[in-house]
Structure 1
Amino acid sequence: MSPTSFTQLLSDLGKQSLFVLDRNISTSDYVHLDLSVTNEQLETVDVSSSDTLGKHINRYIAINNCKVAFGGYLEKRGIYNRSEYFNDQNPATERNIHLGLDLWIEAETPIYAPLDGEVHSFQNNTNFGDYGPTLILKHTIQNVEFYTLYGHLSVASIENIHLGQRFEKGAEIARLGAANVNGDYPPHLHFQIIKDMRDFSGDYPGVSSQNDLDFYKQNCPDPNLLLRL
């Protein structure tokens, strides 16, 4: 399937009012959050501290009288500079462009399957600044296979699941983890669509370098095609 056709499939699926958080949270309760390097408001925020960044995000949500902050697809961020896992002195190969959609909300928030799927893989990715506990679902719709990744989960979320386990659309699949288990971030869900997993299992790059961006834009289209926030 061509990238254009795959994008159209996702867009068509998004007409079904899909959700990964509580479906009773109205779209008006979501506020867009900019964590890009061009956001001047972050110049006074220590984004390397999960506690300080978390307070900034929670204050932003409260000021906007909302429940969830979201955003980040293809956003170039400075937050990854704190971790040697992402950092590189070469601007072309440094991984700092975010490939998923982040949903910022408190730890232990339930996460739901947006579509029927089965467990492709799961793993606790424990590098500093990494996903922490991660779950990947495989979906087959109209004979098209693709995957969704859920990062920054609680440890308990991956303790009692197995490969091939099926989840129906709307079923609870996980809960969000706190900073001490999720790679040292304020609690949030990293939600990513992946067309081709290649040989990855329990993990997949969620941040790209400038050099690799063209490939990842094709293989990881905008998750908001499904969620329509």
Structure 2
Amino acid sequence: MCTLEITLNGISQQPVAILDTKISVSAYTPIDLSAHNPDLEGMAITDPDQCQAYIDQVLKQRSAAVAYGGYLEQRNLYADKSGFATQGKPPRNIHLGIDFWAPAGTQVVTPLLGKVHSFRNNTTPGDYGPTIILIHEVKGVTFHTLYGHLSPESLEGLYTGKEFRPGEALATLGTPDINVHYAPHLHFQIIQDMQHNQGDYPGVCSRTDLDFYSSNCPDPNLLFKL
């Protein structure tokens, strides 16, 4: 493991919550939204309603409240979004964070001490909608966390440098019309080098760029321990 991965792994030995602390992490269940999941064959997964119906089915079957997963998952979820296709290259369809699927309005809490790095409403189809990026320093190691698909109200009152403590309310999840046409969820991503980006950072990459992005965006579950 690299220095950042070792640091993330050492932050907590117990599971870490990212949504409303009244929802126990024991009520989180993994979900497979990959292109290789036979349950999704023939399903229009790019349609928020159909995607939500599948998520609800998984949650009901497992008596769970939150579905999570997706790190380095190859997905068909972006197939209808022109911004994910690049001429002469494989499509961007490999997910670089963990998604937490829960109802719109669900509270997002900060998993560790951080300050606002930047924020923006990214309205391009397929992007994050309202987005917050925090910057953290743990044992001399600096990194960032990105929170996407939020409600517009989540950006109110923010300013660069505003501090959030562990477990403090940061935002709420947005609706499909606000989060740029996805079923309600939180996209959470860890980023080492922001590469001068402000309020946005790629959350999906092509296989040709995977080595760089998987190194710059390590597995969030090193922190969450889910």
2:52 to 54, 63, 66: 54
- Counterpart in the other structure of 1:121: 118
Report the more deviating stretch, 4-13 or 14-23: 14-23
- Counterpart in the other structure of 1:83: 81
- Counterpart in the other structure of 2:150: 153
> In 2, are the aligned partners of 1:14 and 1:225 still within 8 Å (CA)?
no
Q: Partner amino acid for 1:87?
A: A
Q: Partner amino acid for 1:179?
A: P
Question: What is the CA-CA distance between 1:176 and the residue it aligns to?
Answer: 0.3
Aligned positions, number: 226
Question: What is the CA-CA distance between 1:87 and the residue it aligns to?
Answer: 2.2
Counterpart Cα distance in 2 of 1:51 and 1:160: 32
SS at match of 2:2: helix
Counterpart Cα distance in 2 of 1:125 and 1:35: 23
Q: Deviations over 1:194-213 (max 9, x none)?
A: 01112100000000111110
User: Where does 1:1-229 land on structure 2 (aligned, <5 Å)?
Assistant: 4-15=2-13, 17-88=15-86, 90=88, 92-229=89-226
> In 1, are the aligned partners of 2:130 and 2:152 still within 8 Å (CA)?
yes
TM-score normalised by structure 1 residue count: 0.95
Question: What is the CA-CA distance between 1:159 and the residue it aligns to?
Answer: 2.1
Question: What is the CA-CA distance between 1:41 and the residue it aligns to?
Answer: 0.6
Question: What is the CA-CA distance between 1:105 and the residue it aligns to?
Answer: 0.3
Q: Which runs of 5+ in 1 are unaligned?
A: none
Counterpart Cα distance in 2 of 1:119 and 1:5: 23
Question: What is the CA-CA distance between 1:60 and the residue it aligns to?
Answer: 1.4
Identity %, equivalent residues: 47
In structure 2, do the counterparts of structure 1 residues 64 and 44 end up closer, same or farther at CA, with 3 Å as the change threshold? farther
Q: Deviations over 1:53-83 (max 9, x none)?
A: 1111112111111001000000000111100
Question: What is the CA-CA distance between 1:224 and the residue it aligns to?
Answer: 0.7
Question: What is the CA-CA distance between 1:26 and the residue it aligns to?
Answer: 2.8
Q: Partner amino acid for 2:111?
A: P
Question: What is the CA-CA distance between 1:16 and the residue it aligns to?
Answer: 5.1
Question: What is the CA-CA distance between 1:23 and the residue it aligns to?
Answer: 3.0
Question: What is the CA-CA distance between 1:129 and the residue it aligns to?
Answer: 1.3
Segments of 4+ in structure 1 off by > 4 A?
Answer: none
Question: What is the CA-CA distance between 1:22 and the residue it aligns to?
Answer: 2.5
Report the more deviating stretch, 196-205 or 46-55: 46-55
> In 2, are the aligned partners of 1:146 and 1:196 still within 8 Å (CA)?
yes
> In 2, are the aligned partners of 1:154 and 1:182 still within 8 Å (CA)?
yes
SS at match of 1:69: strand
Counterpart Cα distance in 2 of 1:27 and 1:19: 6
Report the more deviating stretch, 48-57 or 185-194: 48-57
Question: What is the CA-CA distance between 1:24 and the residue it aligns to?
Answer: 3.8
Counterpart Cα distance in 2 of 1:214 and 1:161: 34
